[in-house]
Copies of this chain bind each other. A is one copy, B any other.
């Protein structure tokens, strides 16, 4: 197997984290091991930065302050986890990477993309994944999934068990318009780099989404490794 760097992107509640785990299981069933990791975080320093990033105490942070913290975490993640794993021939499945920063801090918070690009150049040398799966759905549907607001589920149980969203964090306070801007930001990036991106519709049946995920990964794997 060649080393592969694959990222899972989308707004909060898009199902990307759940489908990342499923993709890893599917690969494992075909004898393909993978390393699962996530941002912000993925390293001890990065996890500490993530805690600060999500902390309620700061209120609304300036987008460029967020940007610098996120790229500090990202560079540490690249140096400590991602590049060593790829150098050892592993397949890396990463929940969020630079595309999230462009979508959230760029489109969401209004930080100019040229400015993000400058910091990206310093922090990662403009490192891009081999493939990026974008989990797309309307912001309202993602929020309903985050909050567990399903018909017949008035108790507001979380719809995504096992996720890392045990309690409300700083971003949970953002409104729908923010998340819809972020969604559009992701879609614009996918349009700019169609060879790298695969858009996965994640608003409907999870089984159908999972099948789109497999289709988006199959052509990366050597022939004969997986049979649909």
Contact = CB atoms under 8 A, between A and B. Distances in A.
Interface residues of A, number: 26
Contact of A76 (B65, B115, B122, B123): B65
User: How many copies of this protein are present in the complex?
Assistant: 2
Contacts of A49: 52, 69
A38 interface: no
Contact of A123 (B55, B57, B68): B68
B45 A65 contact: yes
A118 interface: yes
A61 interface: yes
Given A62-B75, A122-B118, A44 B68 contact: no
Interface of A: 44-45, 48-49, 52, 55, 57-58, 61-62, 64-65, 67-69, 71-72, 75-76, 79, 115, 118-119, 121-123
